[in-house]
A and B are shown apart, each in its own frame.
Chain A
Amino acid sequence: MDFDFSPIIENWRYLLGGLGVTLALSAVTVLASLLLGTGIGIARVFGPAWLRLPLILYIDSMRAVPVLVVLVWTFFAVPILLSGLSLPPFWAAVVALTVHIAAYVAEIVRAGIESIRPGQVRAGLALGMSRAEVVRKIILPQAVVRMLPAFGSIVSITIKDTAIATVIAVPEYMKRSETLAGQSYHPIEVFTFAMIVYFLILFPVTRLIDVAYRRVAHLGRS
């Protein structure tokens, strides 16, 4: 069993480009899903009943349907619905991943807000604050701190889910590894290297979030 890592070394620029796409896709998705998910989460908790029900349906649906299905449907089926208007693979992936992950973010936001004891709200109201001020100044700041570890895991999940975008031919790292593996006839070396690359990205991310959370955790305890 001899291993030949030369295809990886020779094509390092190709792979590095793939890594760039992975990181770009992850960053855009994390940002978009944090924004969208937070909005949905807050609407889910504080919004009117007619808005809450469809939001609950959306959130639960994303828990039921695999990412792969959402990706494939967004890329292949949506253009047919919109009579030929198609998104390039990268942006289709952004849309699909954001829609899927925002649901998880919304649940994290809901759980974070609901974890703040009612006594905190009562204390704020007793001081003469309006409900809106109580939400802004007392609930959300504490809730945000409590949500941080879960948001950290969202980053980790997003990076892992970008690898699924390979099935709609987004040229991210997984796809490029696949292509290289096929062309070089050295799939073991290429995929083993890919595992190391992903591990080296994901492991520090989760550790960093842990460390950052420990620094600020006391701000969320009441």
Chain B
Amino acid sequence: MTALATDPRRPGIARPAVLVYRDVRKLYGAFVALNGVSMAVHKGEVVCLIGPSGSGKSTLLRCTNALETINGGEILFDGAALPADETAARHVRRRMGMVFQNFELFPHKTALENVAIGPLTVLRARPADAAAKAQALLDKVGLASKAASYPANLSGGQQQRVAIARALAMEPEVMLFDEPTSALDPETIGEVLSVMKILAEEGMTMVVVTHEMTFARRVADWVVVFEEGAIIEQGPPEQIFEAPRVERTRSFLSHLGWAG
């Protein structure tokens, strides 16, 4: 049940664990969002979290970069527990990148300014350096020509790609994606998934909450299935999608129309 770092089927098993979750609990008042979640993310792995809405996947992600505090258990980042103190938490957040479902680009700044704002404000980079790096990252996500555009003039897919560039500008050790394509029109989902695939191939450690099962099947190294705040199954994508061991995994996938 609790397949931590010891599962031999994991390709990333030999590499260090960047994130370790031990029996993590999270409560919102009386509602139990996370009920003893234990899992690990190794360096260079793409771990996809799937499951019905409200099952705790996004909550776990938001606890990972200390946007939310946990009520029980522990989360280890690079071997150290997440600090409770806000100032120390800030330093941890610099080393993680987060991409939000609603993009959350800053509407009063251009694409270039959005990407540069992390290094400028947090890392106190020189404006020229920050701008050059931002331009390079926009180029990497295929939006070099949109550097001077404001978010309002960009499509959803373009905004999300800028958001990915913005997170990458901080040179994070791990990228957290919270349903990155759920708010996108179908035509633009592909361009965002392509960028994520490139990141994965470059060896970025990624934790992705998603409903895009094809992406998870093709790109993930490890898939974790959530339901009602707990992990019901985790394993390599071949197992989860073709031969799930738990009945509820099977019914969840069939509800999504996953034909395998």
Direct contact of A and B (CB under 8 A): no
